[in-house]
Structure 1
């Protein structure tokens, strides 16, 4: 199956390993990965801050980029996928009805990585192995906005040797929320501190998530508190193989 890969800004700039492992994983599962070089930022930071008009040029570029074929588009970040799936609403707000229709066609083809693997490829066991205890953090964009709740868990439960640990208030936001963490820094800081407290209580080896932004936020707090917990994106976990 031919698949477009949408790298996302954070994966491209900060976590290249996540992008690399996403591509390797898709190839391992039989996909021919296509990277369209004209892709750019989805505009989420501006959109979340209310600067819709300023985000429009970048949104149009993204729509045009992925109109060149009709293959599925896969991204390792639920927040970006969610933003793109709401493009049509933003275009309508700005009186861009024709672009709204074009955006709807693109949005239908966009998938979070875990959603694509489980619901399109029909795979839950990718042959991964990672012995240890882990906490999975369900990002707000993934499970609140996209309704992707069980797919990441289904994949992680099949990872050989990995034990998933429940924590208190597991589905509570980590406090990142994009520009929220900047505009409301004190509140955000308290939220991630509480999240880390609950994670540390169960003494896991790993913290796993499907959104890089949340992992950066929680991982930063874990590091500052001296917690020896390895932070991993699910794409990195699913590329782990037993020796």
Structure 2
């Protein structure tokens, strides 16, 4: 299926796929936001969560991080454990009350909040209203920096070629690749290089990589080899699940590349000499 048309239909009778209405962004930055760090960031990439906080605080925004937050429920949901996913979702919804925007360091987790929580509770009117309200104030980090904060980044680093990887669900549900491209495009000394398989899944897919290891391994091999062939000196992504998979494959194949979360990349590239490094 293409992005615009169902290919199975004859040329003269193709039906355009439904298009989402453009999101309306607030005219002013909020004073306070919540940060949903995601379980993968919390366990494996804590520096990405801290750097996301640094980026938001530099915009004059207070950041609240509820300590009881956990997984968004996506692994259970995509594995068919609907009731368990609902249980996780109820807990998260209760933690993020109060109307502040919720900033998420992963496009796939933000997509879970915005796209799939309403589906989980479509038969529970009271809960549906709560999750829809949460969905309406949920933003992926790069989306929020670009469209709400309207950041203007000043590059402080040396010339660098990077390749961008965006998770397939983040690309599909949150347009994260477009937001990341726009922010990276503000960095004067950074060149983003194209690579084959850019829009394809890295093979992680949460439990997919466990259930289908041979297929997953073949997919990440294609991905990492394409990244190496691009000539990029570094890989940047907004999704740490993908980074776990891609970095692990780099190590296994002895490919001298490493992936970094975009929050850390942007923070490190744009610090002035007066700003702390951590």
TM-score range, shorter chain: over 0.9
Partner residue, 1:77: 106
Three-state SS of the structure 2 residue aligned to 1:149 is helix
Partner residue, 1:43: 73
| CA RMSD across the alignment | 1.5
Determine which of 47, 61, 65 is the counterpart of 1:17: 47
Partner residue, 1:230: 258
Work out whether residues 130 and 160 of structure 1, in 8 Å CA contact, stay in contact via their aligned partners in 2.
Answer: no
Partner residue, 1:3: 33
**Distance of aligned partners of 1:61 and 1:198 in 2 relative to their CA distance in 1, 3 Å threshold:** same
Looking at structure 2, the residues matched to 201 and 242 of structure 1 have their Cα atoms a distance apart, in angstroms, of 33
Partner residue, 2:209: 181
Looking at structure 1, the residues matched to 272 and 63 of structure 2 have their Cα atoms a distance apart, in angstroms, of 25
Using structure 1 for the length normalisation, give the TM-score: 0.94
**Distance of aligned partners of 1:3 and 1:108 in 2 relative to their CA distance in 1, 3 Å threshold:** same
Determine which of 82, 101, 107 is the counterpart of 1:52: 82
Looking at structure 1, the residues matched to 154 and 63 of structure 2 have their Cα atoms a distance apart, in angstroms, of 17
Question: Is 1:97 the counterpart of 2:129 in the alignment?
Answer: no
Work out whether residues 47 and 55 of structure 1, in 8 Å CA contact, stay in contact via their aligned partners in 2.
Answer: yes
Deviation at 1:160, TM superposition (A): 3.5
Gaps of 5+ in 2: 1-30, 274-278
Work out whether residues 197 and 222 of structure 2, in 8 Å CA contact, stay in contact via their aligned partners in 1.
Answer: no
- Per-residue CA deviations over 1:161-205 (Å, capped at 9, x if unaligned) read 211111112111111111111111111110000011111112221
- Per-residue CA deviations over 1:77-111 (Å, capped at 9, x if unaligned) read 0111111112011112xx42211111100111111
- Per-residue CA deviations over 1:101-139 (Å, capped at 9, x if unaligned) read 111001111110000001111124255535311110121
Instruction: Answer with 1 or 2: which has the greater Rg.
Output: 2
**Distance of aligned partners of 1:75 and 1:121 in 2 relative to their CA distance in 1, 3 Å threshold:** same
Deviation at 1:148, TM superposition (A): 3.1
Using structure 2 for the length normalisation, give the TM-score: 0.82
Gaps of 5+ in 1: none
